[in-house]
Amino acid sequence: MNNQYKSVPVLPSEITPKSLYLSRRDFIKAAGLAAGSALLAACAPQAAATPSGPIPQANGRTDELGGPFNTYEDITNYNNYYEFTTSKEGVAPLSQGFTTSPWTVEVYGLVNKPKTYGIEDLLRNFTQEERIYRLRCVEAWSMVIPWTGFTLASLLKEVEPTSDAKFVRFETVSRPDEMPGLKSAFYSWPYQEGLRLDEAMNDLTLLATGLYGEPMPNQNGAPIRVVVPWKYGFKSIKSIVKIELVDYQPSTLWNDANPREYGFYSNVNPERPHPRWSQASERRIGELSRRETLPFNGYAEQVAHLYDGMDLMVEY
Ligand SMILES: Nc1nc2c(c(=O)[nH]1)N[C@H]1C(S)=C(S)[C@@H](COP(=O)(O)O)O[C@H]1N2
Ligand SMILES: [Mo]
């Protein structure tokens, strides 16, 4: 594996004096509440994320396949986060007033040591590393993103799943007053996702708390989200508040909405077209020519064995 590791500042309060940090966040929050959401979307500033200093640069860095990092601006202004809006450019401005502190993540269900973690515990007590991952959306675009986070496995080991635990169910926070998209009755909120326990324990599966060495921007799923790089992007659930170990295959928002188009596994598979379009190639955001899509998004060596004996055209 060619993941790059480096130590990064983990708490916003360690990067910027707390008073400055809080006042900027409070200011943004106030601005977001004062302006109407539609109005705010229409006159969105270029970079709606709020890095602690200058906008981070890729400086020529690439993933292990030579794909250049996407820019911080692209990563933070072209988002899928339906709790806010279905417009990819609209998420950044609409999410700036989202409250991410205080924040807790409840880890419970079929475990010996259930625990509710404060976000500060998760940042301090788990080893944060940088991981360069491709994110491949089912809509056939992709990005290369330098995430910061820690393995889901390291957290699950601490709570000790029992022998009955077979799957992990994740849930996003539900805040109707801050998330206008929750009004859409088409989806079964709150956003839920699931992984098989062995997928969740795989070393690639990350709980990401930042990107480009910065705290996670709201539009990318602050303060903590899942990143599963060999699956279509919708499996990488944002702003999680619950992690439940269960003995059944959990239902997921996209599978509920359209089971023919979105299966439980959703492994990136160039050979299995989405019912409405091909998955054989992808458009890397920021590039003109298309790239060939790789099985398991290029991570086959690390994860293909998890599916030995399964027909991936049927269990998609
Ligand atoms: N809670 C929640 N998580 C979510 C989504 C969402 O709408 N709500 N969209 C998913 C989809 S479809 C994609 S492609 C990725 C996008 O992540 P990004 O905006 O950080 O690139 O987030 C995923 N996680
Ligand atoms: Mo997606």
What CATH number did the domain enclosing 190 receive? 3.90.420.10
> Does 6 fall in a domain?
no
Q: How far is the CA of 163 from the centre of ligand 2 (A)?
A: 32
**Distance from Cα 87 to the centre of ligand 1, integer Å:** 12
pTM for this predicted structure: 0.87
pLDDT in tens, 255-302: 999 999 999 999 999 999 999 999 999 999 999 989 999 999 999 999
Domain tally, the chain: 1
Q: Which ligand is nearest to the CA of 95?
A: 1
Pairing of strands 240-246, 167-172: antiparallel
Of 198, 229, 245, the residue nearest 298 (C-alpha):
229
Ligand number with the minimum distance to the CA of 228: 1
Q: Which domain holds residue 218?
A: 12-178+186-307
| pLDDT band at 52; cut points 50, 70, 90 | confident
Q: Looking at the domain assignment, is residue 2 inside a domain?
A: no
Distance between CA atoms of residues 123 and 164, nearest Å:
29
**Higher per-residue confidence, 66 vs 16:** 66
Confidence of residue 99 (pLDDT cuts 50, 70, 90): very high
Say yes or no: CB of residue 215 within 6 Å of ligand 1.
Answer: no
The candidate with the shortest Cα–Cα distance to 213, out of 77, 10, 16, is 10
Cβ distance 208 to 226 under 8 Å? yes
pLDDT-based confidence at residue 48 (cuts at 50, 70, 90): low
| % residues pLDDT > 70 (the chain) | 84
Tell me whether residue 267 is in a domain. Answer: yes
Which has the closest alpha carbon to 148: 11, 240, 19? Answer: 11
Indicate whether 315 belongs to any domain. no
Any atom of ligand 1 within 6 Å of the Cβ of 82: yes
Q: Measured in angstroms, how far is the CA atom of residue 25 from the centroid of ligand 2?
A: 28
Domain assignment present for residue 3? The answer is no
Of 80, 87, 231, the residue with max ligand 1 atoms within 8 A of its CB, to mutate for a pocket test, comes to 80
Instruction: Let me know if residue 7 belongs to a domain.
Output: no
Residue 1 domain flag: no
Which residue's CA lies nearest to atom 5 of ligand 1?
81
Atom index in ligand 1 nearest the CA of residue 240 equals: 1
From the CA of 208, the nearest ligand is 1
pLDDT in tens, 107-129: 999 999 999 999 999 999 999 99
Which comes out higher in pLDDT, residue 163 or 15?
163
313 assigned to some structural domain = no
